[in-house]
Each structure stands twice: as C-alpha cells, then as structure tokens.
Amino acid sequence: MSKQVIATSRAPAAVGPYSQAVRVGEWVFVSGQIPLHPGTGDVAIGGIEEQTRQALDNLRSVLKAAGASLREVVKTTIYLVDLADFTSVNQIYASYFEVDPPARATMQVAALPKGVFVEVDAIAHLG
C-alpha cells in the first residue's frame, strides 16, 4: 500500500517535521491537533473550552481533507496539561462525537507545543 500525505490550509500547518495526516489504504492517521487558528497560526484565545473546540475543529478539517469525517474516527487520544480540565473537555468532545463515539485515551502531560492546554490526535477508517 502506498502512503498519501494529507495537507490542508483549513488546519494549522505542522509545527515540526511531520504531516497533518497520512492515509494508507482505508486508514487515516491524524497528527495531534492543537488549538491554533489555521489562517494566523495564533493560539485560540480563551480557556480550555475555546482551545478544545479549536483543536477539534482542526481535527475535523484535516479529516475532511483526507476524505473522512468525525463519523469514521475509531480512536482518539486527548493530551491535557491539567487533568482537572477533563470534565470541560469531555462535554465539548461529546458534542463533536454525538453518535457512536470512538475509543479514546486521555492523559495528562507536562507541557504541549506553544503552551496550549489540549492536543487531540485520531485514527479513522474509511472502509
């Protein structure tokens, strides 16, 4: 199977040597999306709620560029700087994955790029 790099201007450019996503066959692997505005690269203003929405909007944009949607996501990982934000993030996350949510792991990390509070990555299946 060949590997197809996915890139879109509707999500922030990678902040390092990686792709926004990679598609291999029916699988799409989306790199961690942080709450940067696609046009400016600026961090979303506000707290964990605004940052979570922006990160998930970015995730949705990358999936769309790969020919997928949130419905095809089978696994996500959420990285939080403060696990005390879990309840707020969970409520917003639930509004993006309203039906048949994917498998998920959530973990607290010491820090995230650009000082953001949240990062979300995903795996989607297009079968």
**Rounded Cα distance, 78 and 104, in Å:** 8
pLDDT of res. 15: 80
How many CB atoms within 10 Å of residue 40?
Answer: 8
**pLDDT at 127 > cutoff 90:** no
Number of domains in the chain: 1
Note the pLDDT tens digit of each residue in 31-78: 999 999 999 999 999 999 999 999 999 999 999 999 999 999 999 999
Note the pLDDT tens digit of each residue in 83-114: 999 999 999 999 999 999 999 999 999 999 99
CATH code where residue 89 lies: 3.30.1330.40
For residue 68, the enclosing domain spans: 3-125
Sign of CA dihedral 12, 125, 67, 93: negative
